[in-house]
Structures are given as C-alpha cells and as structure tokens.
Structure 1
Amino acid sequence: MNRKEDEWLWGWDPTPGIVSVWAEPEGRAIVWRRLPETDALVREDLSFRPWLLLASLEDLGHLGARLRPEGDGPAPHRVTYQELEGPGALRYVIRADDGRTLSSAILQGAARRLGRPLQHLRDLPPEVVFVMPPEEQYLIASGRTYFRDLPFDALHRLQFDLETTGLDPEHDRIFLVALRAPDGSTEVLEVHGDEDDDEAEADLLGRLVARIQAWDPDVIENHNLHGFDLPFLARRAQHLGVPLALGRAGAPGLRQRPSARGASLGGRSDAPATNGAAPGQNGGARTDRQRRTRYTVPGRELIDTMDAVLRHDFSARDLPGHGLKAVARHFGLAGPDRELITGARIHHVFRTDPERVRRYACDDVKEAAGLARLLGGAAFALARMAPRRYERLADAGAATGVLDPLLVRAYLRAGAALPAHEPGDGTSHSGAALHLFATGVAKHVVKADVASLYPSLMREYRIGPRRDRLGVLLALVDRLVDQRLDAKARARAALPGSPERHTHEALSAAMKLVVNSAYGYLGAVGLTRFADVHAANEVTRHGREVLGLLCRELAARGVTLLEADTDGVYFSVPPAWEEADERRVVSEVAALLPPRVHLEFDGRYAAMLSHEPKNYALQPYDGPLLLRGVAFRSRRAEPFGEDFLRRALRCLLAGDIPGVREAYISTVLALRRRTIPTHEVASRVRLTKASSQYIATRTRRRELPYEAMLANGRTHWSIGERIRVYRATGGRAGLLPTPATEESEQEDGDALEGRQGSERTSRDPRDYDVEYYTRQLRETFAARLARALTPADFAAVFDDPGQPSLFTPCLSGARPILTVLQEPQEHRDEAESPVETTATPG
C-alpha cells in the first residue's frame, strides 16, 4: 500500500537529475539531466505518445479502422483508446503518435456532430475533453519528476537584470545588463558607442545571448523577471531583429504560455499557449487568468523570485513590500554598502557616474540569487513531486497547480476514470470561524498555534471528496504529513547552512504548502476536479467545534481571550505568570483536543493592540514591532502615515500616551512646514480602467489617479499600470515619477532618504495639500488607535496642535485600555477562502 501511495506522490521512474523537460505536440521530448555524481549535463532525445482524455468515442467514429483499442498495440497513423474503470465523465485515454493529428481528428468529428467549425480543443466543454501541455503528458505517462537526488544548490543558476532608459520598450532602450554566473561571480555588459544607435543595442543583446549560452545555466531568474525583464528584452530583440537564442534547443526566440501573473503583451488575450497546448485545457477550468502570458524556452527554467515572495507573504504576511530592495532588507540579504538609486534616475546617474550604476545592478542580481535560495526551495521541492515543469510550479497555486496534477497522475496510474469539473449544487461554503473577544491593548500576550487544523481534521475524521473514490487526496495528505515530519527531523540533524539542511527544509515547506491547500481544494467548487463543498463544510463544522473547545478551556484557566481562528489563539495572561505557566496551560488544553490536532506554544509578547479581526500589532519582549493586517500594512497607504503609526504604536504598547501625542504633533508640524517629501504623502495605485473607459465616464465621476495622468499629458495608459499619486494644492491631482520597474517601489523611501535626500529635495515640488493630509493623519491613521483609548484621551491626544483647547487634560496619567466584548464577534476568515488568489497564482 505504501508503495502505491509513494508512486502517487513521487512518481515511479527513479531517473535522477532531471533539470528540464521540453516536449512538442508531435510526440518528441527532450530531457536534460545533471548527473548527481559528476555534475555533467546530458541530453536525452525521446519519443512519447501524446494523449488526452475524452468522455466518449463519438467524435472519433469517423476514423473507422484507424481507431483501435490500446491493447492491439500502436501502429503508424492510428489512434488508440483505453477505457478507464469506474465512474467518471472522462473515461477514455486517447493516444496517437502525433498530438496534432489527435486534436485534428477530434475537432473534425466534433464539428460534424455540432454542425459548426471548431478551431481549438478549448472550443469544446471541459466535461468532454481534457488535455494537458505536452511536458505534463510526458511526465505523467513516464512517472518521471524533476530533481531526483539533486540538492537545490546543484542547479546551475544565472541571474540577469536589465537597466533601461525608460519603461516603454517601443521607444526606450537597454543600455546595461548585470549578470551573476552559476559560480557566483558577477559581470556587467554595457552598450558600446552611441546609446541611441540600434546597432549598439543589438550588439549588447547579442553579447547577452552569447554569455548565457557560454555559461549554460539550468535556471535563469530575476526579481520581476516575467513582469519586466523578459517582456522588455523580447520587444527590443524583436524591434532590432536580434535572435534570442536563450534556450538549449529549437529555433531562437521566446515562446509564450498562459499564466496568472505576467506580461499582458499589449492587452492581448489570445496569446498562444506553450507548445501548442490549448489555453483553457491546461488541467483546470477556463478562467480569465489566461489573458496574461509568460515566456518559456527549451532546456532552461525561467524563475521569477517575485512568485516566491508573494507565496511567502500570502501565508506569513510579514513583508514591508514585495519589491526586491524591501524584501532583501527584510531578510538581511542587503549589505551595509548596498548601492541605491531611484529607478527614474538610473540612466541619468549612469551618464555621470557609471561605476555607481554598475554596483547597483550587481547588487540587484546578488540579492535576487539570495532570495531564490532563501524562498525558492518550496517550488524546487514541489517539482520533485508534481508532474509539471519547475517554472510552472513556481507560479502555480497549490490546489489547481499542484494537487490537481498529482490526482490526475494517480488516477491514470490506477487506470481509473476521472471526474470532470462540476459547478456544484448551489450549496455555499460556510467559511472558517474567526472570533474577536477583545479590542484595545493587552499585556502579557501568548499565541497558541493550531498546526494545520483543517488537514488534521480531514485526517482525524477521514473527510475527503465524495468523487475521490480511490481516496487519493487523503492518502496524499497522510503521506505528506508523515514525510514532512521526517524532513523536519533530517533538517534539524544536518549542519546549519549546509545543502542537506536547505534541501530538507525546502521539502518540509513544500509539503506544508500542499497539505494546507487540501481544505481549499475541497471548497473550490468549479475550480478543482474533486471539489466537494459538503465535505469542506463538514471540516469547517469540526473546526468550529475544536476552536470552541479550545477557547472554553483556555478561558477556564484564567486567561483573557483576544482573538481566535484556525491558525491559533491569542490570549492575555495574569501579570504574575512566568513562561512556564504559559506553556503549562497550552499543554493542558492541547491534551484535550482530538489526537491528530496539535496545539503548540508559538510565542509570547509584551503587548498587543487588537484592532479588528486579523488586524493587530504585537510588541515582542525583545525585537521589532510586528504588524498584521491591511489596517497596519497596506501597499496603498501613504508612507508618512505608516511611519507615524509605527512610532505611535511603539509608544502606545509601552503605555506611553504622551509619546503618542508627541508622534502626532511632530507629524502634523512636519506636514505644515513641508519638511515631509512629496513621495511620503503619495499613494501607490494600480490603474483598473483603460483610458477610453475612464474618459467616457469622467463627466459623472472624477478619480484622482486618472486625473493625475491626464494632468500630466498622459491620455493613454494600460490596465494594471502602477503609479504614485497625491493630492496637490487647489484640489489638483499630482503624479510622481514611477521607478523603472514595478518591483522597485520607489526604492522603499526610507532606505534612500539618507543617501538620496538632497537629490530628491532638489526635484521635489512639495506642493501637496497640507490640510488634506493632516485630516488623513487623524481620520485614517490615528483612528486605528481609537479602541486603545478612552474617547476623552483620544480627543486630547489627537487635538490639533495649531488650535489647542483651553481645557486639554493632562496625559501623564492616561493609560491604554482593553475592552472585553460581551458578545464575541464572529467573522468569516477570508484567509481560509478556498479560492486561490493572485498571491498564489495557479
């Protein structure tokens, strides 16, 4: 039994060292392997029989004798079928020597049946036909997976970063490329001669291609690679007629594949899928996500570290932003001498101080490599399990992107028919429980963590999807939980910083990701093949019972409950308690829970501000302030307000109410004296309306971001473009220059202020509407502290320093308050929503 389940999870072909797979619809596959013993790269040219699944043979009846049972054996120009066992709409595996012949035969028969022409298999309903990209067809049929017996560090990785004269590849140019070689060395390639000369730029791109071919990496990566570098490079190469021979085989050039996050390529929604696979037939339901595309090449995996950052922040929610500079500083990857230049100034600085730009660009690729190693291990480990290309798993959601391929492979290995996606019976998903017990400031706070509550309940009560008659999902969860414990133990036993430790930690993280997605998979009706909202609601019901028991038992032991959800419980303990008392209470309550549900002591904090569900601030006994939730961490929030909020929160959680007042007064005075730079009051906004759409409705409603674009002569823009806007004096809309790539995020303000302060000041208009932002400070940012103060203290703390009251009370005796709610508020925990988000693109 264990062997079968291991095959479901890991595949069955033990071939080691696969670093890339490329397959074509005509049945040709190329596999590149890095031999674990010698590090040598070998190439295998193989043939395979492309396949797909059909609900019936009706559309192939016109083939006559050319359609034969699989048992008769393959023959040239014949199509074979294998009927799968058991119930399931998709019950025929159809194979042929050439996938295009196979598609053509089905479309011809379906067109006759429907009485209308058909161009693509995606024109047929998903309950009729199911086809995967050629690489996945090959991997599922062969039982192979990537990276067997290879540690993460065995891959040859190359990072490159473009520096451009502007954002528009139609008019702007590439003038410099920084590269980091697989051995860790860095190199800078620059334009020779006139920057405005086509031949000079074409020569630069040719040297870039030559360097990549010479170093021959398995992986090419950068931060925002698919959002900026590759689309810009592809457009410039096309304009200049430079063949981008970045792959290891085939004709030069980048190919396209659909993706949730990537380049819009001028807003086209019909970009071809990778290697001829039909968009909408990639193993999941059709969605609008396929309006965006990514690039791919044979023999190399194109990895964007932005995906790993988004995946990390979706669960941890601890990052100050998603840009390279912010994340590198957060994780300690940025050195003390890290060169920083605002994106809009890079080309200008290069003309006067090229060495500075060279250092800046090399720091970028070094940090991208550091991020890849720190956060990219999960995707690497997933590629050891799931039958997909490594680069696709890097930007895939765990449910549709990982579990679905695993389930498909398991069912085909067992010769069992597969269900099609179903819309559901109208039953809604009840959602996870989230309770708010108190608001305000609590002291001596403990967090008790419920480890993987919903998967644990699925295992404890054997709750799986009704249509999963083989029990594959539960079997996968069982195996992953058991093997994750083994991976964690092996990681602890390995030397800190060693490749072995890194590999086992990555494996553990990947397994946790898949395990925690199992509940979401159940509830994602219409998006996942075995979705079962009734099973998901049964898991939720048990979860509410466990959470209720947990809260009752904790309260009975003398603690004050603050917030509880499926991740765990925050509670405040009496001042006299020691850490041993806190751990004892958690252990006592843990012993009362179902056997597979584990409650663990997860941390202790000096104070906590409970603002709203999932929105709180924590002050550890030692360490920096921790902020959670959009009330305290929002990419759209004005930096000056967030800076005030952090200073005020540190004082508030220390019980220093006069300090909160001082933070407020200093910020108001800085606004009125205009010592705060304009970029600190600007909001980062994503445009969601096309220029024509906004202009058509402008007379009815005017919106600041679009007015800022128009006021600056921008009459055309793209949906998804990110800009920085602010309210200027006289009600005008102000627009700030945007960095050269979305990821740089104005280089995150504070890091640049020391080095670039004078540079910014000389160009800063400081024409923002002071009184508008003063109101914003009080009504938006200060309001988040209201639950921690009495109404009288709040009014006194945030009284206008320019118009003080004659009767302002003394704040020396003021203290933060905690309000225990008579009726705890219950909310749905949106973080447990079964539908995948763009943070974990699928």
Structure 2
Amino acid sequence: MTIPRDEWLWGWDTTPGIVSVWAEESGQATVWRRPDGGALLTERAKFRPWVLLSSVDDLRAAGVRYQHDDGDANAPGIRVRELAGPGALRVAVSAERWNVLETAICRGASKRLGQRITRVQQLPRHERHVLPPEEQYLVATGRTYFRNLAFAQLQRLQFDLETTGLDPRVHRIFLIAVGTPHGDVELLEARGQDDHAEADLLRRFVTRVQQLDPDVIENHNLHGFDLPFVRQRAKQLRVPLPLGRLHHTALVERAAMRGVSSDRDGADERRVRLIVPGRECIDTLDAVRRYDFAARELPGYGLKAVARHFGLSGPARELIPGDRIHAVYASDPDRVRRYAAADVTEVAGLARILGGAAFALARMAPRRYERLADAGAATGVIDPLLVRAYLRAGHALPAHADGDGTVHSGAALYLFTAGVVQRVVKVDVASLYPSLMRAFRIGPVRDPLQALLFLVDQLVEQRLHAKQRAKEAAAGSDERFTQEAMSAAMKLVVNSAYGYLAAGDGLTRFADVHAANEVTRRGRETLLLMCRALAERGAQLIEADTDGVYFGVPDHWSEHDERAMVDTVAALLPPLVRLEFEGRYAAMLSHEAKNYALLTFDGRLQLKGVAFRSSRAEPYGEAFLRTAIARLLAGDVIGVRAAYLDTLTALHGRAVPTVDVASRVRLRKSPEAYARSRQQRREFAYEALWQSGRQQWAPGDRVRVYRGANGTGRVIDEVEDEARLDHDARDYDVAYYAALLRRTFAARLARAFHAHDFDLLFADAEQLPLFAPALETIRPVATREDDVWQLLEPEPLSTTGQT
C-alpha cells in the first residue's frame, strides 16, 4: 500500500474538533471533541499499548508466545510487527494492556541482562522507544487535536490564586479569581481565616470549574505556582480535587524540564508538572519564553510587564507588591479584587496573543496540546512527527546514537563594525539553514525515507500559504489570527530543523554532524557571498549571521535605493534562499556580536542581547543604559554624560529604590545542597538568603539580592509587578553600585567612543582633568574589525602543484 506523504505532516484520521485526549495503560482512551465549536462530545475507544524494540529477544527469553500484528485493535495477546529498512528499532510490539506487555519484556530483559528490570524505560535507550499512553494512541490512530476548529472556539478558563504567602505548607488561599469562557470574571473568597473556610473555598472552586467545563485552563506561572499550591492545600485540608473531566482521576504528575520539584524540600531534583485529565493546562509563561527567544524584545517575563508590553493593561491597572496583598486585603479588599480580576483578564489576552503557535502545532504533531505548549521545537515537535511518519510507512526507526567524535563547526557569525553607525538597514535571510537543506538536499544519512527534508519542504510551503492568507484576511479577524499563528508555528519548527540535525550527544535520533557541518559550510559561503555583494555596492557592513545582515548606507540614499540594492543581491543567492528587506533604522550601536541597540526613525529604542537585556541585571543600570543609548544614537553626547551623572546623583541621594539595585537570581541548589558545597565555594545569592534569615527555599525559586551598606548580602522576595515596597530602607552599598554603573553598564558604550573620550564622559564630576576638552567636541565613532573584513577579499590563487 502506498501511503500519501501528506499523512506524515497531518496524520490520516480526519476526526474534527478534538480538544483533549486521555489514555490509560489499560488500553482505554477517552476523547473529548467539540465539532465546529459546538457542544462537547465524549468518546471512549480501545487501543493497543505499544513499544518499539530492537528485537524480540526479550520476549523469547521470557518464553512468551506472540503472533503477527494484523492491525486488528481488538486482537488478543501480544502482537509483533516487523518493520522494514536499516533502522535499529525494527519491532513494534503491542498488547491489550500495558502491564501485560511490560511484564513480558522486563522478565526476558532481566534474564538477558542479569539484573532486575521492572520498567521498559530501564532498558538501554538504543533498545527501546516508549511514549506516554496519549501519544501511543495519537500515533497509532493518526489523530491530532483541533481539526476544523478555530482558537476562538475553545472553551478557555483562567484562574489565579491570592494567598497569604508563597509556601503552601503553611500559607493559605484566601481568594481565587476565575475568568470564564464567556469573558466574565468571578471572584471566590474565603468566608473566614481557618481551615474550614479555606476548604470551603476549594470546594466551591472545584464545583465552578466543573460547571463551566473548560477545554483549557490557563494562567501565568500556572505550573510553577498555582496548580502545585492548590494541590498541596487540598491535600493538607483533605479536600478532593476533581478538576478534570474524569472525576475518578486525581491530578497526575509528568516529568518536565520546567516544573516544580517533585517534593517541596528539594531533596528530589526531579521536575514535574501536573496534568488535569480531560483538560489542557496552558502556562502563558511558556509562551512568553518561546516568543522572546526569537523576538528578544520583552522587558521581563512577569505578567504585569508583559501585559503592558502588549497593551493589555493601562495606567489605571491596580498594582500591589506581592508580599503586601494579604495585608491590603484586610484593609481594602476591593483593591485586591480589582488586582486579581486584572490578572485573569490579562492572562486571557496574553494566551490569545501568544498561544496560537502551540495551537497550530497541535493540529500536526501527535502530542497533547499542553505538552506542545512547553516542548522544544526539535525534540518536542519534529521528533514525534518523524516517529509517526516512519511507523506509518512501516519503516524501522534509528536509535539514539552517539556521534563519531566529529566536532560540529557551529553557525556563521561575523562582526564587521563596532560602534555607532547612522542610517542602517537589516535584511533577513529567511530560514537560511533550512533553505540550504532544501536547496542542496542535505539531510541525515540515517533517514532513508528523507522524511526530515519532506517535512521541511511542506512546512515552508505551509508557512508561505498561511502568510498569504493572513494578509488577505480582515485585520483582527479570527481568520487573520489563525493564519498568523500557523505561520509562526511553521517558522518555529522549520528553524529548528537544523538544530535537530546538529544535536550532539545522541539528543535526536536522526542527528548527523557531518550533514550539519555541510549546511554550515554552505551557510558561511552564502553569507560571505551576500556580504561581499553588499559591500561592493556601497554598504557599510556591521553584523551578519543566520538571522540576517545589518549594514549602513550612504546618507543620500532613499528607501527605494536600499530596496533596489537588496533585490540585486538577492538575485545572486542560491535557489530557495530568499533575501528579504526587513527594516531600516536611524542609527545602531554595535557593542559585540548579537548585542546591539537600534533607534527607529520614529524614535523607538530596541535593545538586543544579554549585554543590554538580562534577567540578572540590576534595573537601575538598565534604565541608565536605555536613556544613555537613546541619547547617544540621537547624537546627544552631552545627554549621555547627563544620564550618567543623574544616575550617580540618585544613587548618592538614595533616590533609587532598593529593588532597582537588586539582581534577580534563580536558585538552583536546595538549602541542603548549598550547605554541602559552602566550604568549597560561597555564593553571594545563597549567603544573602542566610544573612536575611531565610533558611528554606526550593530549587527554581527566584529572589532579588543586593549588597547592603555593610557589604553583606540582602534579599528582596520576588515581586512580579513593579509596585514599590512601602517600607523600603534603601540600605544598599552606594559606593559599590556607583562603581558598578561605570564598570558594567557604562562600559557597554565603550565601543562608541575613543578611549580618552570615554574616560572623560564617564568620570566623576570631582575627578575631571584640569584641561579637559569640551564635551561638545566628542563624537561617536565606528571601528572596522579588519580581520573580519579580510574574509571578503578574494582568496589568492595557489600555484602549488599546478603545471
């Protein structure tokens, strides 16, 4: 039978409107559907749990009888299907129940390996491939989520907790804000301050979720705080928590890279997230991180900051410091109610703005929607698509395997000019590495079906189609939103194809460092060809990498001149490699590769790279940088000096709030782990916790630490919003932060000036040289990196060995 290759991308079962799937090891699957966005339907189906193995040796060692798999889902006993091709995982084994299958395999493996094996996952990775039950079901049936369903047709609920503190072992929930699928906000409040009142609040919350029956539950940091907190409080108060659609099934743990510790004390380093069977739990923090990984434009990842960035909140938005919410509730409950209502309203808006990509991916990849929302695009999206494609084609899969020691050559990145350049253009090499893979048919050697290249081809075409349909749709319409989300999802996966190919240490089953190095070789070749052509036509090259090229243009050029030159250069590139005019800017500060600032023609400042935007950086320094860079790029050198002196004055007068000199740190060690390593190396953040009287924390917690006036570390508990603490002592070390301002933040402007001019601009007012030149004479500079520019020169012809 010939299998249509489109099924590799979309699956083959066209059942519409699936909004959630829950499968169990018993071979029972429950599927919830909302065809055309209407009433919810519940279906139950049988499936055969399955696993891929390298051989049937363990079944034979166990003395288990098995038969050929003829595709009958109701067939009894253990069934085996031999797969074609050279792959190592060449046997698909299934049974009516998972425990029957696992027991047989583990019994044989124990005999073969001479040790007790109780889980299939304990077998060497190159001998097996195991999926969670829901993915077994989706791969086997060819089903996917959300066919013929728009994002707006999902029933989405948001909830946010207000608690007396951050530790669910000792603190309580006193208010729960609920955003309903109809767009309303409901506030559930505890009717007292004891166990009975909180237990009653939890029961009312569970009842309301069941009544509203959402397909999706959303919040910001849902998996890091709200769900774990609710579960812990319900456990301590002995309140059942049937938040899902299967009332007999409690919340379920799953392993996750970004989750909470499986035990609150942090002794177990395993990270988990909680599943609500029958509903998809979406954490908008995942969407924010994924968005900013590409855009690099968000001011932070907290809800309030992101909501302001996207225009979801206004100046009247209620702000309360996190550790003051309960106290404010006691004296002004309406203020806290407004605060909580705004939280769920903003989460609903944020999920709609950023959630479309995961929604679109769920239409393709055989995974639950919530897993695609937090998965990496390579192992989380591409790998499931390839596994399904190979099994659908009846071909054996390659196993994960270590490389042969060949070093990956890495991506191309060139910094041609550092400093300040006026009138700058950016051109984008659209998906350079995937385009080169397509143009020169470069794929992994262990992919005989060329499935990866096929998926890349299809995804690029789907993206172009979606972009065109988005342009044709009305602004603000569901169709525009759907197509833009599809385009974003396709771009995300396409751009990860090269990373999937280049992954080392056996991280992906089709990794091929030799193929990846050929892609990067052609990438460097293409980038240098393009840069050479731009320079020959009058461009002042600044920076070039796989994301595109920045270059300066002559003052007298018009936008038409810029676009005409780009079109000319684009015609010189290999087929399928597209050069697009992406933007033009009034000025650019190039600090180092991938770290720069841009000033738009309408006066907006864009900062890129960790040198200018870092979650660990002290806010007072970043605020100085934004002001100073904006003035620098506008040609106001005196204004740069003024920004520096103003910041020093604010520090010395203690006008800078303490939170603005604190560095945001994520804790990676438990208290016990740090105590064990403390004698070898003392770390400022943990010492600050101890010196501030904090003895308990969990890995993954975030705190802000600062240096006190006596040099010791101090802690400000993480406050997501930017409200200021009423009792701010401002007891920080002024001299330290004044020195840090010059040493760390002002230093990022050093490439913009000659050394003596930089020293003058950032000298203390009392330490200026007696005969210092006037500040008005200082001009920003740009410096060519000559060793990089030499790469553009034609290589000399060698006469060695020629006749």
Hey, what does 2:445 align to over in structure 1? 466
State the distance in 2 between where 1:527 and 1:382 align.
Answer: 21
> CA–CA distance in 1 between the matches of 2:75 and 2:486?
43
Name the structure 2 match of 1:366: 345
Moved more, 175-184 or 815-824: 815-824
| 2:402 matched residue in structure 1 | 423
Matching residue of 1:265: 262
Select the residue among 335, 359, 384 that pairs with 2:363: 384
Give yes or no for contact 2:703–2:716 (8 Å, CA) kept in 1: yes
CA distance in 1, matches of 2:572, 2:729: 63
SS at 2:5's partner residue?
Answer: helix
Matched letter for residue 690 of structure 1 = S
Structure 2 residue 133 is the aligned partner of structure 1 residue 154: no
1:406 and 2:385 are equivalent in the alignment:
yes
Instruction: Tell me how far apart the structure 2 counterparts of residues 114 and 159 of structure 1 sit (CA, whole Å).
Output: 50
TM-superposition CA deviations, 1:426-461 (whole Å, max 9, x none): 111111110001111000100011000001000000
User: Identity over aligned residues, as a percent?
Assistant: 61
Secondary structure of the residue that 1:432 maps to in structure 2? coil
Are 1:353 and 2:352 counterparts?
A: no
Q: Does 1:335 align with 2:332?
A: no
| Cα offsets for 1:144-202 (capped at 9, x unmatched) | 10000000100000000001100100000100000100000001000002x2x111000
Distance 1:269 1:397, change over 3 A: farther
In structure 2, distance between residues paired with 1:658 and 1:809: 13
Within 5 Å, which residues of 2 pair with 1:416-815?
416-525=395-504, 526-739=506-719, 744=720, 747=721, 749=722, 752=723, 760=725, 762-815=726-779
SS in structure 1 at match of 2:421: strand
SS in 2 for 1:785: helix
Which of 811, 823, 831 is 2:787 aligned to? 823
What's the counterpart of residue 222 of structure 2? 225
Q: Say if 1:439 and 1:820, in contact at 8 Å, map to a contact too.
A: yes
1:323 to 285, 302, 324: 302
1:5 aligned partner, one-letter code: R
Query: What does the per-residue CA deviation read over 1:30-76, in whole Å, with 9 as the maximum and x for residues that have no partner?
Result: 0000021x611100011111111111111111565731112496777
Cα distance in 2 for partners of 1:462, 1:632 equals 39
SS in 1 for 2:780: coil
Tell me the SS of whatever aligns to 1:349: helix
1:296 aligns with 2:275: yes
Aligned equivalents of 2:676 and 2:354: distance in 1?
Answer: 44
Task: Please give the alpha-carbon distance, in whole angstroms, between the structure 2 residues aligned to 1:826 and 1:162.
Answer: 59
1 CA distance for matches of 2:596 and 2:251? 45
Shift of 1:553: 0.3
Residue number in structure 2 paired with 1:204: 201
In the other structure, the counterpart of 1:837 is none
CA distance, structure 1, for counterparts of residue 312 and residue 666 of structure 2: 28
C-alpha deviation, 1:115, in angstroms: 2.0
Q: Measure, in 2, the Cα distance between the counterparts of 1:20 and 1:705.
A: 42
Q: Is the 8 A contact 2:62 2:107 kept in 1?
A: no
Equivalent position SS for 2:144: coil
* Mapped contact 1:243–1:252 kept (Cα < 8 A): no
The equivalent residue for 2:795 is none
Q: Aligned residue for 1:119? A: 118
Does structure 2 retain, via aligned residues, the 8 Å contact 1:438–1:824? Answer: no
Deviates more, 1:22-31 or 1:66-75: 66-75
Q: Deviations over 1:115-158 (max 9, x none)?
A: 22112111111111211111111111111100000001000000
> 1:56 and 2:88 equivalent?
no
Q: Label 1:825 to 1:578 Cα distance change in 2 as closer, same or farther (>3 A).
A: closer
Q: CA deviation at 1:623?
A: 4.0
Contact kept in structure 1, 2:47 and 2:73, CA below 8 Å: no
Cα gap change, 1:796 to 1:63, in 2 (>3 Å): closer
Instruction: Extract unaligned runs of 5+ from structure 1.
Output: 272-287, 828-842
Amino acid across the alignment from 1:605: Y
Letter in 2 for 1:183: H
Residues 467 and 252 of structure 1, relative CA distance in 2, 3 Å threshold: closer
| 3-state SS in 2 of match to 1:113 | helix
| CA deviation map 1:809-828 (0-9, x unaligned) | 2111211111112112899x
| CA shift in 2, pair 1:268/1:533, >3 Å | farther
Match for 2:740: what amino acid?
Answer: Q
Q: CA deviation at 1:2?
A: 11
Deviations 1:297-337 (A, max 9, x none): 22100110111111111111111111111111111111332
Alignment of 1:251-290 (within 5 A): 251-266=248-263
Q: Choose between structure 1 and 2 for higher RCO, CA contacts under 8 A separated by at least 6 residues.
A: 1
Letter in 2 for 1:265: S
Cα distance in 2 for residues equivalent to 1:173 and 1:582: 61
What letter matches 1:677 in structure 2? Answer: P
Size of the aligned set, in residue pairs, is: 790
Distance 1:73 1:311 in 2: 41
Instruction: Name the SS of the counterpart of 1:261 in structure 2.
Output: strand
Structure 2: which 5+ runs fail to align? 792-803
Rate the CA distance shift 1:177–1:420 in 2: closer, same or farther, 3 A.
same
Q: CA shift at 1:655, angstroms?
A: 1.2
Shift of 1:693: 3.7
C-alpha distance after superposition, 1:77-123 (max 9, x if no partner): 51110101111111111111111110111001111112221121111
Q: Return the alpha-carbon distance in structure 2 between the equivalents of residues 455 and 91 of structure 1.
A: 29
Distance 2:674 2:71 in 1: 62
Partner of 1:167: 166
Structure 2: how far apart are the matches of 1:738 and 1:137?
41
**Structure 1 residues 144 and 252: alpha-carbon distance in aligned structure 2, compared to 1, 3 A threshold:** closer
Distance 1:700 1:33, change over 3 A: closer
AA of the residue aligned to 1:332: G
Write the deviation string for residues 610-655 of structure 1: whole angstroms up to 9, x where unpaired: 0000000000111420000000001111111111111110111111
Cα distance in 1 between the residues matched to 2:679 and 2:82: 62
Q: Which amino acid aligns with 2:748?
A: R
Deviation at 1:29? Answer: 0.4
Q: Normalized against structure 1, the TM-score is what?
A: 0.92
Task: Give the AA of the match of 2:32.
Answer: W
Secondary structure, counterpart of 2:765 in structure 1: coil
Aligned 8 A contact 1:320 1:326 in 2: yes
